[in-house]
């Protein structure tokens, strides 16, 4: 792995940055104040973003997880996982909520890429998919879900409720986690693609949130909702030995992407803070810390933390592109980037004082937006637990 961004993605990064500067930033405050209003300006970007991932069948860009055979013997690959991460960093430098609201850019697309078979990848190409995991009595413990899927001929019948579904009302379809048999535990959990308009599926409310207000977050109920059996992602067989590993591969795709979102918003805060304080800051990084002002020393430390989080994020994406298992690295990147983004955005508000706290600047908005990036796709605490299990070679039953 090289530490520089792959040269072949330079144009992609520049295009994404221009979108952030010229489209997302100008409307950022507008849709922060108009929660649940659809950002119509994003429609014109859909086709552009469809081409940002090397023509892969998934809109978010993570076309493979770190499973399968390592390609390390046949050269290093920088593919759609890396391109997705780099593009997301730039777009979230513009606005996290608007990135999450982007047509055909749902986290469910990464779920499809993680576990779908070849026929499903072709059939769901171009769809905009949200992802529905969390339930009213099931938050961080994804294995505790209670939504059921009962086989009935050529269909599965889904019953249950999902909450906090990002893009749940706007997306074309929703990837729903449900259990085939509660008695078999987590091994029986499968994911299903449920298209909006399917009878028995109903959006019951939209959440009011602290941040990412441009993105809709929905609660959805499934009441005797009949879904074609062909929409079960991957294999319908329950493999008790493999356990929960099948659907959990989804997170190996999505966690580096969420980490990339955190990297983007943190960079926005650092850049703007240095711009606002430029008259009182030195750019001499070789100066001794004791010779720097508090603001200089703080920003230097935050930039070092940000750079560490960025490299961890790109490593997790690089591993997936090269078919190298990345579950531990995906959780490390998500944990580090989420925590760093929270600290960076809040510290930047603090350093800029009243200006950072007011709506005259986007700094206060970025601090609100960043909080969710340490929560969804697995909280900070869950990521640390996963990393501990991998490092100590413990199962979920052995280390809770």
Residues marked active site are found at 377
Nearest CA-CA partner of 231 in 198, 267, 255, 269: 198
DSSP category for residue 360 = T
d(CA 152, CA 27): 47
Q: What is the DSSP string of 209-260?
A: -SS-TTS-EEEEEEEEEEEEGGGB-S-----TTTTTHHHHHHHHHHHHHHHH
The whole-angstrom separation of Cα 111 and Cα 347 is 34
> Vertex 115, ends 113 and 231: CA angle to 5°?
95
Among the listed residues 79, 109, 87, the one whose alpha carbon sits nearest the alpha carbon of residue 322: 79
The CA angle 62-133-245, to the nearest 5 degrees, is 60
Distance CA 70, CA 2 (A): 18
Residues 16, 91 contacting (CB under 8 angstroms): yes
Task: Let me know: does 162 contact 147? Beta carbons within 8 Å.
Answer: yes
Q: Which residue has the tokens 């637990």?
A: 385
Burial of 60 per CB tally in 10 Å (0-12, 13-18, 19+): buried
Q: What is the DSSP letter of 77?
A: -
C-beta separation of 260 from 92 below 8 A: yes
Helix (H, G, I), strand (E, B) or coil at 361: coil
CA–CA dist 113, 60 (Å, integer): 9
């Amino acid at each position: 792995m090289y530490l520089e961004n792959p040269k072949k993605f330079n144009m992609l990064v520049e295009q994404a940055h221009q979108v952030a500067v010229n489209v997302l930033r100008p409307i950022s405050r507008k849709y922060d104040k108009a929660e649940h209003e659809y950002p119509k300006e994003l429609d014109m970007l859909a086709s552009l973003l469809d081409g940002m991932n090397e023509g892969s069948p998934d809109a978010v860009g993570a076309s493979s997880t770190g499973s399968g055979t390592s390609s390390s013997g046949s050269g290093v690959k920088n593919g759609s996982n890396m391109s997705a991460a780099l593009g997301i960093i730039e777009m979230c430098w513009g606005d996290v909520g608007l990135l999450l609201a982007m047509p055909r850019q749902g986290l469910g697309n990464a779920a499809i890429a993680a576990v779908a078979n070849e026929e499903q990848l072709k059939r769901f190409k171009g769809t905009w998919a949200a992802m529905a995991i969390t339930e009213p009595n099931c938050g961080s413990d994804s294995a505790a879900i209670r939504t059921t899927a009962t086989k009935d001929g050529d269909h599965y019948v889904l019953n249950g409720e999902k909450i906090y579904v990002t893009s749940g009302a706007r997306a074309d379809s929703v990837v729903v986690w449900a259990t085939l048999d509660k008695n078999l535990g987590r091994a029986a959990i499968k994911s299903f693609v449920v298209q909006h308009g399917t009878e028995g599926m109903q959006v019951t409310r939209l959440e009011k949130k602290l941040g990412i207000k441009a993105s809709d977050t929905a609660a959805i109920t499934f009441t005797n909702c009949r879904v074609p059996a062909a929409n079960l992602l991957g294999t319908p067989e329950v493999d008790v030995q493999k356990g929960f590993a099948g659907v959990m591969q989804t997170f190996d795709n999505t966690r580096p992407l969420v980490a990339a979102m955190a990297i983007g918003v943190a960079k926005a805060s650092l850049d703007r803070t240095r711009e606002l304080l430029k008259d009182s800051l030195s750019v001499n990084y070789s100066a001794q810390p004791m010779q720097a002002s508090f603001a200089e020393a703080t920003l230097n430390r935050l930039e070092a933390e940000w750079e560490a989080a960025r490299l961890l994020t790109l490593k997790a994406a690089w591993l997936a592109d090269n078919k190298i298992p990345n579950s531990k690295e995906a959780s490390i990147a998500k944990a580090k980037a989420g925590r760093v983004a929270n600290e960076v955005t809040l510290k930047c508000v603090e350093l800029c004082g009243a200006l950072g706290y007011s709506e005259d600047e986007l700094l206060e908005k970025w601090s609100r937006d960043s909080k969710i990036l340490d929560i969804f796709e697995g909280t900070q605490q869950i990521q640390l637990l996963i990393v501990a299990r991998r490092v100590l070679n413990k199962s979920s039953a052995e280390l809770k």
